[in-house]
């Protein structure tokens, strides 16, 4: 089981972070990758933290029972795995269909027209 709303939100966040790496110019891709990797870690950890605490059974304190805590943790990790796999697949598909043929430009190609030009 997964949390569909959480999966969609995590997918959007993770896919956009991975898209940042993909569309960065080649010279700065490595440093961008490390910053994005840190961002993915933060988003994933916060997603696990938030989804692990969700419990649909608010009556009679059933959420404190170990089986419900474990179930919420499993759902949170399954949701994160599905969202991460989907984001990677989406970015790979984007790269195959669009990214290979339209690479990001280089900052060396930018020409500034000033007063003397």
Residue 99: domain span: 4-109
pTM comes to 0.83
Count of domains observed in the chain: 1
Kindly state the DSSP code that residue 27 receives in the 8-state scheme. G
Residue 15 lies in a domain: yes
pLDDT tens digits, 30-70: 999 999 999 999 999 999 999 988 877 766 677 778 888 88
Residue 14 lies in a domain: yes
* Residue 33 tokens, joined: 């990758």
State the average pLDDT over residues 73-84.
95
Distance of alpha carbon 50 from alpha carbon 22, whole angstroms? 28
State the average pLDDT over residues 13-40.
93
Comparison of pLDDT for 10 and 64, the residue scoring more? 10
Residue 13 lies in a domain: yes
- Spell out the residues 6+ positions from residue 28 whose beta carbon is closer than 8 angstroms to its own: none
Q: Are 104 and 19 a contacting pair, CB within 8 Å?
A: no
Find the DSSP H helices in the chain.
Answer: 4-22, 29-52, 66-94
């Amino acid at each position: 089981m997964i949390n569909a709303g959480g999966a969609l939100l995590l997918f959007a966040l993770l896919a956009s972070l991975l898209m940042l790496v993909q569309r960065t110019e080649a010279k700065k891709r490595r440093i961008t990758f490390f910053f994005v990797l840190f961002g993915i870690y933060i988003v994933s950890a916060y997603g696990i933290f938030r989804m692990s605490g969700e419990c649909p059974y608010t009556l009679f304190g059933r959420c404190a029972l170990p089986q419900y805590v474990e179930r919420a943790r499993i759902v949170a990790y399954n949701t994160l795995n599905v969202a991460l796999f989907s984001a990677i697949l989406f970015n790979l598909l984007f790269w195959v269909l669009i990214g290979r043929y339209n690479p990001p430009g280089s900052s060396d190609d930018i020409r500034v027209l000033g007063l003397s030009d």
